[in-house]
Amino acid sequence: MCKTESRRCPDRIYARRSRREAALQHVGLGGLLLLLVSVPAIDVYRTWAGMRAEKRLWAIAGPACPIVDQPAPSVVGHKPPRTFVYNQIAFTRHLGDASCAAFREDGFLTKDIYSVCQFSGPGAVTVETAGRRTTFQTGAGRRATVTVRGGAATCVAAGWFARRPRGYRTVVG
């Protein structure tokens, strides 16, 4: 303690100043922690929102494609079929191009995924998955979207995917 009364006691000033500094340090640390938590949280939200937007973009509605045993030669033409495998699912088409995406099923921490492929005028699409073979005949020049969920394939005669025209070049810069 102070021995003289005429001067202010430095211990009291230091004690008062240290409480104020401690409070400011706590506020500063709290703000820093809030910032450290909010930056990853914003990134997680942006990733989640982007995936949901892409999932909505690939959820195509339209009339169901007819299921046939064999595609009609008048629809598929003379070209040989082209087969590709996506997510252990074989897709065969005769015409056009394809674009595919895979999404997680709705639910918290689910591991189940489903695949969606869009075709730009395939004529017919044959899907082979889990020992099942399904052939959809979309018609000449019509777009098709095939969704495979739980080993079952469905098709709608609609979609937004289109092939780039021949000679199309991307202009850079």
Is residue 97 domain-shared with residue 53, that is, in the same domain? no
Q: How far apart are CA 14 and CA 73, in angstroms?
A: 94
Shared domain for 25 and 99, answered yes or no, is no
| φ/ψ of residue 72, rounded to 5 | -70, 130
Q: Is residue 171 part of a domain?
A: no
Say whether both 85 and 50 belong to one domain: no
Within-domain flag for 25: yes
Taking only the tens of pLDDT, the chain with its 173 residues reads: 555 555 556 555 555 567 778 888 888 888 888 888 888 888 888 877 878 888 888 888 999 999 999 888 888 778 888 999 999 999 999 888 899 999 988 877 778 899 999 999 888 999 999 889 999 998 878 899 999 998 899 999 999 888 766 666 655 54
Query: Would residue 102 count as lying in a domain?
Result: yes
Residues 140 and 117 in one domain: yes
Give CA–CA dist 129/153, Å, rounded: 8
For residue 75, what are the domain limits? Answer: 67-156
Asked if the structure places residue 140 within a domain, the reply is: yes
- Residues contacting residue 100 through CB under 8 Å, at least 6 positions apart: 86, 87, 91, 115, 116, 117, 118
**73 and 133 inside one domain:** yes
